[in-house]
Amino acid sequence: MASKYMLSTLNISISEAATPPICSSCHRLMEPGEHGVEFLCPNCGKAVIRRCKRCRQLGVPYVCPNCGFRGP
Ligand SMILES: [Zn+2]
Ligand SMILES: [Zn+2]
């Protein structure tokens, strides 16, 4: 009984933490140590834009998922 309860709470905490940062330009998973950037949309300020190191260096444009603003 007790172990079942513990398992279910563990599952909830894992699913909540599993929000991997995805690059807004190339939609690839950003590696933790690759020095990607994360900032709010300069137009609406509501959506978080993420860019991986490669897209930052290449200047790949991003599109805001909230207002459709194209950057950089
Ligand atoms: Zn990228
Ligand atoms: Zn926006």
* pLDDT confidence band for 65 (50 / 70 / 90): very high
Does 5 or 30 have the greater pLDDT score?
A: 30
Asked if residues 60 and 35 have their Cβ atoms less than 8 Å apart, the reply is no
Indicate which ligand has the atom closest to the C-alpha of 23: 1
Render pLDDT for 36-58 as a digit per residue (tens, 0 to 9).
Answer: 899 999 999 999 999 999 999 99
Q: Give me the residue label for tokens 């590696």.
A: 31
CA of 48 to the centre of ligand 2 (A): 8
Measured from the Cβ of residue 2, the count of other Cβ atoms closer than 10 Å reads 6
Asked if residues 21 and 29 have their Cβ atoms less than 8 Å apart, the reply is yes
Does 9 or 38 have the greater pLDDT score?
A: 38
Q: Give me the residue label for tokens 């991997």.
A: 20
Indicate which ligand has the atom closest to the C-alpha of 26: 1
> What's the confidence (pLDDT) of residue 25?
94
